[in-house]
Structure 1
Amino acid sequence: MKPKILVFSGSTRKGSYNKMLAALVAKHLTIANADVTTISLADYPLPIYDGDLEDETGIPENAFKLRKLIETHHGIFIASPEYNSSITPLLKNTLDWISRIQLPEEEPLQLFHTSVYAVGGASPGAHGSLRGLMHLRTIMEVSLGCLVLPEMISINFAGKSFDENGDLTKDHQIKRLHKLIERFVSEASHVKLQDN
């Protein structure tokens, strides 16, 4: 089966290293015979989550659109920057809103229990977004119940780690990327999506 994989970055900043990482992962997934959809969270703006706002106006339409994308893909890859040893407010807010959607026939957070997830991050510093990735894993695994692959890619000193074509320059990072892609495509190929 040719798996459908959704790819996006937790940053929408111009020149973002994580947007570069998301594009690189999408390219390699396509080479590995996956059907890849790449999106920008900038195209799905959401207000800061507020319980009173949800009570007054309901869940925003863009949260439902993002939910639909998740439930129609076998795998989801998130490229996550690190902000103050955590994830971006944009990514956290996106996950918070989507997690508020529960259809009448569903168990809580059922949406997150079907697809397989993979994560990676890039930063100009020495840690390569690793602390943010660990926080993201905690949110996704412990709070949302996602299956997140142990393989992940962390790109440190990102300003020197990508060449002019957006490819990685360091052998150990290239090997990690290939290992991630191989496992991700294999696991996503075995996911059975719910009928929509």
Structure 2
Amino acid sequence: MSYVLAFTGSNSSTSINYKLLEYTASLLQDEKIGVLNMVDYPFPMYSEDYEKENGHSNSLVELMNEIRNAKGLIIAVNEHNGYPSAYFKNLLDWLSRVDQKFLIDKKIFLMAASPGGRGAVGALEAAEKMLIRFKGEVVEKFSLPNYGQNFDEKNGIINGDLAKSHKEKLNSFSEAISQ
């Protein structure tokens, strides 16, 4: 059994990506999983001056330890104007200050949901490039467009084709972390 850490690139209390993340985590039967709500991880905007004066917060160190203990990560990024949120970029900035290669040997299932028809593909593409830069391996990507029409909080992904694709990608990720 591998430990999988799941978190979003959003610090919104109403994040649709967090709902997709919780649903995805509930489907992993053979893995120990930790789901983090990033609302509980507020970070100031990164600056060298702030870091020199204040160092690294306890919550940043705790998050880094969670990442280090995980064999795999499930990350659901949100999209703001075609890119991942400023919160997600800031989170990566802070983590990389603790360890530039903080994602080395980490297998990643990268997801995004959006209310629009493009399914946050811009955020997925940009996030993948960022994660690879820090030595993460994006094993699978999943995009959920038209969230309100394709996702139900009780039943999960209700579009048959999307549900099948999601399940296949989740199984592929699960196989990758079990090797």
Corresponding position of 1:67: 64
- Range with greater deviation from structure 2 (36-45 or 64-73): 36-45
TM-score by length of 2: 0.95
Q: Secondary structure at the match of 2:98?
A: coil
Verify the 8 A CA contact 2:6 2:75 in the aligned structure 1.
Answer: yes
Identity %: 27
2:137 aligned to which of 138, 147, 158: 147
4+ residue stretches of structure 1 with deviation over 6 A?
Answer: none
For 2:136 and 2:13, the matched residues in 1 are separated by 29
Corresponding position of 2:15: 16
TM-score by length of 1: 0.87
Shift, 1:166, TM fit: 4.4
Q: Secondary structure at the match of 1:15?
A: coil
Corresponding position of 2:128: 137
For 1:166 and 1:58, the matched residues in 2 are separated by 43
Letter in 1 for 2:168: K
Corresponding position of 1:114: 105
Verify the 8 A CA contact 1:152 1:176 in the aligned structure 2.
Answer: no
For 1:78 and 1:113, the matched residues in 2 are separated by 15
Shift, 1:71, TM fit: 0.4
Corresponding position of 1:172: 161
For 2:155 and 2:23, the matched residues in 1 are separated by 7
| Unmatched segments (≥5 aa) in structure 1 | 103-108, 191-196
After superposition, give the CA deviation of every residue in 1:15-67 in whole Å (9 maximum; x if it has no partner). Answer: 321011101110111x3x11111011111211110011111221222211110
Corresponding position of 1:194: none
Shift, 1:164, TM fit: 4.2
Shift, 1:94, TM fit: 0.9
Corresponding position of 2:151: 162
| Unmatched segments (≥5 aa) in structure 2 | none
Give the paired residue count: 179
Q: Secondary structure at the match of 1:113?
A: coil
| Higher relative strand content | 2
